Every structure is written in C-alpha cells, then in structure tokens.
Structure 1
C-alpha cells in the first residue's frame, strides 16, 4: 500500500506518518521510485503500537522511541530484560544506583523500612522505591490513612498480579522484553480501570446485601 493507504488503514494522517518516519518510530517502506514507497502490515502494526503507547500508555514520542529501540535490540540477554524495560520507561541509559559504600540516608525512610519488613527481594536503591516513597508521603499529606497494614494488603494483591505478569513472560529474550515493556505500559491502565469497577461492584454489592 502507498502512504495514503497506510494512513487510511491506521487512521493516522499522512503528515504524522511522515513525522514517525523522520523520527525513526516507523521503519522505511520498500522504495518503488525516488519519491514513492510501498508499506505492508508490519507498518500498520507499528503505527498502531505507537498510537497505543502514546494514547493509552501516555508515553511521549521520545520515550516511545526508546521503548522501540529496546524491543528491537538483537543481543539482549534474558537476564537483562527487566533492567532494559525499566531503563526504556525511565528514559535513562542505565538505572542510576550509587555504590554501596556511600552513605545511605534513604535506608531510614518509611518505605525502605516497610520493604525490609515485607521481605521483598528488591534493590533498595531502585528509583521505583523512591517513587513509592513520594507517593506514600503524598497520601499521608492528604490524610488518606495509608498505614502499614493497608499497604500490606495492597502489596498482597500486587504480588498476585506480579505472579500473573511474570508467568506470562515468554522465554525468548526479544519476546520477553516486548512483553515486559508493553505489558507494563498498556496493562497499567487496564488495572486502574478494573480497580474502579471493582470499587463500584463492591460498594453496590454491600449496599444490596445490607438491604436484603
């Protein structure tokens, strides 16, 4: 198909498709002349993936570019999958973790103490731990009442989700990193929507039970 056909198949304007090509988000088509090229289903799938990552996942085009680069990395080992996925989403070449012999004031934070008590096998210097610390502090500031017991209950549910996630990861490294990255970005909105629907269901069910 020509560029116009690709635009029709994906619902993305020609100007946007040309921008994707210039930025490397879309691979080049098969040249048929100096100014024309043919595109196939792989281009349709790529455009739909870019749209999903931006519109559903909420990623910037720059982050999408990093994600696509990681997915297409030919020499990625399976042991590097989680790190590569995290780096692509954080927008860094590597996760910045300070050496262990430096002073570690973060070790006294509420989140680190909770993680240690929980016994989770995570690196306490992981940037995601800092994200959790900030989010928990914001909940405290808002008076939501997110104490350790409630956090434990959330963590129990999160572990069940994590088991489903990890069990879904295929053994081949390239497929694995695609699953991890895209699963993280695109399934997060699914989980958020399910939580809200479950809240509605639970509230209504309890009200019905009370009336009965």
Structure 2
C-alpha cells in the first residue's frame, strides 16, 4: 500500500507517519522510485502499536523508540526481549537508599517474594522497576502507619500469578516473536489500566453488596 492508504487504514495523518519514519519508530517502506515507497501489513500493525503507546499510554517518543528497539532485537532470548521492552517503559524514580521506610519496605517485599516462591523475581530485585514500584508503594503505606507486608500481600501475589499465566498464554497464541513482544508491551500500556479499572469496579460491586447505598 502507498502512504495515503496506510494513513487512511490507520487513521494516522501522513504528516505524523512521516514524523515517525524520521524518528526511527517506523521502518522505511520498500522504495518503488525516488519519491514513492510501498508499505505492508507489518507497517500498519506497528503504526497502531506506536499510536497506542503515544496516544493512550502517554509514552514519550524517545521511550517508544527504546521499547521498539528491544521488541525488534531478535538477538536476545524471548524472556530478555520481553523484560528489556517492559523495563524501558516509564517507571518510578529510584528511592532514597538511606530512607528507613524504604529499607524496611525493601526487606518486607523481598520476604514477600520468598513467601510466594518466586526465585527469578527475587534474583532481579536490584534491577527490576516493578520491584522498585512495589517497594516505594509499601514504604509510603508504612509512613502512613499501614504495614502491608508479606502476610497481607501474598494472596494478591498468588492471584497475580494466575493473571501472568493468562497473559503469557495469550501472548503465545501469536506467531512471530515480534508480535509476542508487542502483545506484552500493549499489555503494559493498555491491559494493566483495564485490570486496575476492573479491580475498582469489583470493589464498588462488593462494597454495594455488603453495605448497600445507605
């Protein structure tokens, strides 16, 4: 397809597509002559992924470029490609290492991973943005006088393990490695907010069931 058709099918203006091409987010099309290139379904799929990340996920262009670089790096095993792509997404900043609440929360969350029997996650705690987010949130609760430790969080962790199984089962229904990693990235950008919304709706439902409207 030509640029105009790619624009029409994707709903993205030709000017924006050209911008993505200049920024290296979208691979160049097959050059037909000096002024015309041809694009295929891979370009269309990638363009939709880019738009989802930027428009819905509010991911900066530079971060999108980094994430897509990991998605396309077929020199890495799947687990490393997946981890590198997700870790490139916007994350919470590094906390103060000398903060007593951070130190206590880190020890407690390491204990949580041990309780859950997650040795691979436990081995990555020094580098994992997800673990850092967990520690920062736990530390904030501690400052407010609420100590959510392994005992309270382990049941949630076991439920999340089931969610992870569903995530990867769905990812494996796609054929190419690039598609698999793209699905994982979309999960971080779009599915995680959906799960958060479902959590809140479930709370509303259960709260109303227990206490009514009065």
Bucket of the pairwise TM-score, normalised by the shorter protein: 0.7 to 0.9
Which residue matches 1:102? Answer: none
Match of 2:135 among 133, 136, 139: 133
* Matched residue, 1:109: 107
SS at the partner of 2:197?
Answer: helix
Change (3 A) 1:157 1:58: farther
Please say if residues 81 and 176 of structure 1, whose CA atoms lie closer than 8 Å, have aligned partners that are also in contact: no
Task: Name the stretch that deviates more: 117-126 or 47-56.
Answer: 117-126
- Looking at structure 2, the residues matched to 135 and 165 of structure 1 have their Cα atoms a distance apart, in angstroms, of 24
Contact 2:112 2:149 in 1 (8 A): no
Q: More relative contact order in 1 or in 2 (CA 8 Å, sep 6+)?
A: 1
Would the aligned equivalents of 1:106 and 1:112 in 2 still touch at CA under 8 Å? no
Q: Which moved more, 1:134-143 or 1:46-55?
A: 134-143
Structure 2-normalised TM-score? Answer: 0.74
Question: 1:117/1:63 Cα in 2 relative to 1: closer, same or farther (>3 Å)?
Answer: same
Distance of aligned partners of 1:46 and 1:117 in 2 relative to their CA distance in 1, 3 Å threshold: closer
8 Å contact kept, 1:56–1:189: no
Distance across 1 between alignment mates of 2:46 and 2:106: 45
Take 2:85 and 2:208, find their aligned partners in 1: how far apart are those partners? 39
Structure 2: tracts of 5 or more residues without a match: 92-102
Confirm or deny that 1:158 pairs with 2:160.
yes
How far 1:36 sits from its partner (Å)?
2.7
Q: Which residue of 2 aligns with 1:201?
A: 205
Q: CA RMSD in A?
A: 3.2
User: 1:109 aligns to what SS in structure 2?
Assistant: helix
Matched, 1:29 2:29: yes
Q: How does 1:6-25 map to 2 (within 5 A)?
A: 6-25=6-25
Q: How far did 1:188 drift?
A: 0.9
Q: What is the rounded CA distance, in whole Å, between the counterparts of 1:108 and 1:2 in structure 2?
A: 53
Change (3 A) 1:60 1:7: same
* Matching of residues 24-103 of structure 1 within 5 Å: 24-89=24-89
User: How far apart in 2 are the matches of 1:33 and 1:192?
Assistant: 49
Q: How much does 1:207 deviate? A: 3.9
- Partner of 1:89, secondary structure, is coil
**Unaligned residue ranges in structure 1 (runs of 5+):** 92-104
Q: How many residues align?
A: 197
2:170 counterpart residue number: 168
Please give the secondary structure, in 2, of the residue aligned with 1:196. helix
Q: Residue in 1 aligned with 2:186? A: 182
Compute the TM-score of the two structures, normalised by the length of structure 1.
Answer: 0.74
